[in-house]
Amino acid sequence: MTNYSPKYSIIVPHKNSYHLLHQLLGSIPQMEGIELIIVDDNSNEEHLTALQNHVFGRPVKVLFNNKPEGPGKARNMGLDVAAGKWIIFADADDYFPPDIESILLAHADDPEDVVYFGTMSVYANTHQPAHRHLRYKKMVEDAAANPALEDALRFGFSPPWGKMIKRCIIERHGIRFGESWGAEDIIFALQLGHHAGKVKAVPAVLYFITVTDGNQSATFSRQMFDCKLEGTLKGNRYLRSIGKSRHQHSVLYFLGRSYKFGFRYMLDVILRLLRHRSNVLIGMEKVLTYKAVLHLRENPGLLKG
């Protein structure tokens, strides 16, 4: 009897989103070679029971964390048991496009370590086009058209979704997610970009992001803001350490929005930026279009404030 080795491992962190998980599961094709791993991050009793009792109709590894440690920890737990040649990450409230099977088959034997794909975002209640994918879509299209822009893709495409990643490169270099809320994916993406050999940019859409008023990526809170700031500062330190300072992420967003939490907090942010030798000139060209930048980073409703 030969051991089964899946071609793709799809890892999904889940927390209190069972009612949204159906859309994602329905978008994953019933094709040979897919290993589906769902990791629950200490959901409440209602969602946990529903997930435990769900009839998937396909082999699925469901893991449970009895402590609320965030999506980074959940993804790491999934990586620890994944067996696929390719790793694909998805969030429980997002989904794959109708032609996902043909995309996966077309790139199954690609020699690159990472394949970056186009993405699309839609509002959950209307399914009309949203804004969250635009900056990543541009990175992929630019790198596909001009290989000289590859580093901008490697070190700028920080979300875990929208990529096919060779598991061997992750394991060879011990790459894992941070386990703090709000910025758990930055270091993973930067280490992946640094250690990957060949990469490829493919504009075809691999992934649909849903945007709702209450999801983690759209919520503007001090805790989330602070975690994202610390993640960005840590990422910039890493980029300087590997000689990629020119790809540091702009901190102007944090400088410009910190006043929302009061003068003392804004002063604390300024001091932290100074301590971390942050270059506030990075991204300065975006100051004149700051509303468009905010539109890409947070819930558009916040622009009224």
Confidence of residue 134 (pLDDT cuts 50, 70, 90): very high
CA distance 85 to 189: 18
Sorting pLDDT into bands at 50, 70 and 90, what band is 291? low
For the stretch 223-229, contacts whose Cβ atoms lie closer than 8 Å and that sit 24 or more positions apart, written own/partner, are: 223/181, 223/182, 224/181, 224/182, 225/182, 225/254, 225/257, 225/258, 225/261, 226/182, 227/180, 227/181, 227/182, 227/183, 228/182, 228/183, 228/254, 229/183, 229/254, 229/269, 229/272
Could you please state the CATH topology (level 3) that the domain comprising 8-211 is classified under: Spore Coat Polysaccharide Biosynthesis Protein SpsA; Chain A (3.90.550)
Average pLDDT over residues 215-242: 83
List beta partners, residue 166: 86
Average pLDDT rounded to a whole number, residues 267-283: 82
Q: What is the pLDDT of residues 176-216, one digit of tens each?
A: 998 877 678 999 999 999 999 999 999 999 999 999 864 44
Task: Work out the angle between the directed axes of helices 18-27 and 45-53 (0-180°, nearest 10).
Answer: 30
Average pLDDT over residues 258-269: 94
pLDDT at 298 > cutoff 80: no
Burial (0-12, 13-18, 19+ Cβ within 10 Å), 80: exposed
pLDDT of the residue at 286:
54
Using the predicted structure, report yes or no on whether residue 280 has a pLDDT greater than 80.
Answer: no
In this predicted model, what pLDDT tens digit does every residue of 25-65 receive, in sequence order? 999 999 999 999 999 999 999 999 999 999 999 999 999 99
Q: Is the predicted pLDDT of residue 147 greater than 50, yes or no?
A: yes
Question: What are the structural domain ranges in the chain?
Answer: 8-211, 222-304
pLDDT score of 224? 84
